[in-house]
Amino acid sequence: MKRAVLILISLSVWATAVRADGDRIWSALVLATKEDPEKPVPESLTEMAPVIQKVFGFTSLYLLGEKKRNLVSGGEEWLVPSREFFFKVQCLSRQETAYNLRIELYRGEKLLLTTAVKLARGAPLYIRGPRWGEGQLIFLFEVQ
């Protein structure tokens, strides 16, 4: 009987951990290019690659940098996926399935963009950045 109780508790803790594990924000700086043949998509971008291809028209992706931080309601985090571009993310509130975030995009010390988004788990935010050489920079945010 004790073993059954232990198994139950372990299952509950595991299930809770699986559900609560998504309370992190992941940001990435991606270079998208058109190349023939296409380059293999980095593993962390496989879910987003079809959207990037449809929306931006690029097929080859390079992950230039990524950062992940915990999301705490009322908290503020700096995400620095590269030395050139970085983000200030303020978690305004948390809903059952999403977070209300205020995101500021900086290039160096210069503030380029301010946005308020309701970001749901598994539904990323794509920001079209500047062109870099032959490619396009794309900023990604996802609640994981």
Partner 1 sequence: MKNSDPNDPPWDKTRALLREHLTAPPLPHPDFINSQVLETIRREGNPRPSAPLFPLRWLAWGGGTALGTAALLTAFFLPHDLSRHEDGFISHVLEARAESPQLSVTSFRAPDDRGVVLWVEGSEFIPANESVQ
Binding site for partner 1 (CB under 8 A): 1, 4-5, 7-8, 11-12, 14-15, 18-19, 22, 29, 47-48, 50-51, 54-55, 64-65, 82-85, 95-98, 100, 110-134, 137, 142
Q: What is the spatial distance between Cα 142 and Cα 72, in angstroms, rounded to a whole number?
A: 15
Q: How far is the CB of 42 from partner 1 (least distance, A)?
A: 15
Vertex 78 angle, CA 75 and 82, to 5°: 160
Distance set, CA 54 to CA 41, 50, 68, 129, 136 (Å): 15, 6, 26, 16, 14
